[in-house]
Amino acid sequence: MLSKIISDVDAFVWGPVMLVLLVGTGILLTIRCNFLTWRNLPWAIKKTLSKESRTKSRGKGDVSPFSALTTALAATIGTGNIVGVATAMVSGGAGALVWMWISACFGLSSKFSECMLAIKYREVNERGEMSGGPMYTMKKAIKNKKLGAVLGWLFALFAVIASFGIGNMTQGNSISTAVHETFGISQGVVGAAITVLALMIIIGGIKSISKVSSIVVPVMAIFYIIAGIIVILGNISNLPTGLSMIFHMAFSVKAVGGALCGNIVASMMNAARYGVARGCFSNEAGMGSAAITAAAATTDHPVRQAYINMTGTFWDTIVVCTITGLAIASSGMLGQIDPATGEMYIGSSLTIAAFSTVLGKVGAYLVTIGIVLFAFSTILGWEYHGEKAFEYLMGTHKFNMIYRIIFSLVAYVGATQTLELVWNFSDIANALMAIPNLICMLLLSGEIAKDVKEFQKIIEEEKAGKRDRTN
């Protein structure tokens, strides 16, 4: 009975109302910022990839601008980029990929706004470390202090719950299941390995996590992108048909299928529903989680770092998810039946089948390794998110080490147990994080627009070479 109730609530909070709020807020912020988040995306990408972004030469903070971004990406680039995209394309048709792109475009402004505010209103804790995120923004920036305090407390509570579920247990289970199915290693052994490795890294806090993330995240992303491109090129003859099918299914009022869609028939409504949901869930724009990590960055101006962190939505959805989607669309495996089960390919099995069309058994190994790396990096990134939310609830950093140890041990439970009830509950908490965060951004949208427009003068000066270009 309880499981059914939680499952129904989960379906509701991730339903149309939440998706409209997430995308709608992104649209409003994009317009209020005069589309500067779109217009400055090339500049932001250039800044992200610069040598200066890897240093702490300008401003105050705990980690470099690039490390703050990669730690945030560690939490967002996860199994959703492999499994979630495949699931969306099965449920919503190939057109779901287009709606993922649309949600990401407006998600840029949401990601930018929450990160900018988090840096602007961050604090220094007793250890001299930066502490920030939507909860601090709510407490300090919302004029109605009682409302701000309540929203901040709720956000932190939901973030802690989500960190143990979506950010930990589900990822651990994805790793252990994938490794067991592909390599035959017991889930208990895998769970123990995850726990030990996670503890070794997170016990050092943000500096240790960011060091690992700044290496693992770019490497794993490049590794997966190259493999995906090989698959797409191997099926290049199908790509034009695949792209045609993607756009046709994305905007068709009537339910349609396609030559490369097998048994899948879907309409624009289905494509929009599942594409937007997957896009929002994948890049977490509007959820507020990335802002917690952004607050640790060394920077001289909140807007500068917000632009760098904003690119996370671009890398996550526009790049990585697109690679998965195009690999599937060009493979001819979408909507096909798995002979081993007699059921349609879905989730990781679909992505593995797509990669296997070109790479054979190696494809299965590559996808499995991708799942392992993506999921483990998510555990690391979410640990920091949860830790800072926990610190906010406790009012002190003194219990952070206890949180780190418990968090590492919970990874073992996730790897060895299927706890659907817990997962659904944490999924609800993940969605509920967004509500106070979206309210906060809407209330402060005028301030966001003012700051971004003022900083535009600095960007124009830097482009013209009139200002010091160090980061």
Domain 2-463 CATH class label: mainly alpha
pLDDT of residue 218 exceeding 70? yes
Across all residues in the chain, what is the average pLDDT? Answer: 86
pLDDT digits (tens, 9 = 90+) for 174-204: 888 888 878 888 888 999 999 999 999 988 8
User: What pLDDT sits at residue 175?
Assistant: 86
- Residue 260: predicted pLDDT: 58
- Residue 471 confidence (pLDDT): 44
Compute the radius of gyration of the chain from its Cα atoms.
21
What pLDDT does residue 251 have? 83
Query: The whole model's pTM is what?
Result: 0.87
**Helix (H/G/I), strand (E/B), else coil: 148:** helix
Q: Residue range 240-259: average pLDDT?
A: 75
Instruction: Give the pLDDT confidence of 93-103 residue by residue, as tens digits.
Output: 888 889 989 98
Q: How confident is the model at residue 145 (pLDDT cuts 50, 70, 90)?
A: very high
Q: What is the pLDDT of residues 393-431, one digit of tens each?
A: 998 888 889 999 999 998 888 888 766 666 667 677 777
Residue 245 CA to residue 262 CA, distance in Å, equals: 12
pLDDT number for residue 93: 80
- The confidence score (pLDDT) of residue 404 equals 93
* Sequence ranges of the domains in the chain: 2-463
Among 84-93, 101-110, 273-282, 401-410, name the one with the lowest average pLDDT: 273-282
Nearest to 248 by CA among 237, 257, 240: 257
51-73: average pLDDT = 84
Does pLDDT of 352 surpass 90? Answer: no
Q: Could you tell me which residue, 66 or 270, shows the higher pLDDT?
A: 66
Q: What per-residue confidence (pLDDT) applies to 16? A: 79
Query: Is 230 a residue whose pLDDT tops 90?
Result: yes
Tokens of 153: 């407390």
The residue type found at 329 is A
Q: Quote the percentage of the chain above a pLDDT of 70.
A: 93
Specify the higher pLDDT residue, 19 or 67.
67
Strand partners, 256: 266
Per-residue pLDDT at 140 exceeds 90: yes
Confirm if 451 and 302 have CB atoms less than 8 A apart.
Answer: yes
Q: At residue 73, what is the residue type?
A: L
Residue 468 pLDDT > 60, yes or no? no
CA quadruple 210, 292, 377, 192: dihedral positive or negative?
positive
H helix or E strand, kind and range, residue 130 = strand 130-131
8 Å CB contact between 328 and 350: yes
E-strand stretches of 354-464: none
Confidence of residue 12 (pLDDT cuts 50, 70, 90): confident
* Residue with token string 């997170």: 202
Whether 206 has a pLDDT exceeding 90, the answer reads no
Q: Each residue of 454-463: pLDDT tens digit? A: 999 999 988 8
User: Are residues 165 and 398 in contact, defined by beta-carbon separation less than 8 angstroms?
Assistant: no
Predicted local distance difference test score (pLDDT) of residue 309: 93
Q: Which residue has the higher pLDDT, 231 or 125?
A: 231
Measured CA distances, 342 to 143, 178, 337, 361 (Å): 59, 20, 6, 20
Q: Identify the three-state secondary structure at position 406.
A: helix
**Among candidate residues 280, 309, 308, 278, the one with its CA nearest the CA of residue 26:** 280
Q: Answer whether 72's CB lies under 8 Å from 228's CB.
A: no
Query: How would residue 76 be classed by pLDDT, with cut points 50, 70 and 90?
Result: confident
Q: How many CB atoms lie within 10 A of CB 188?
A: 13
Residue 470 has pLDDT above 60, yes or no: no
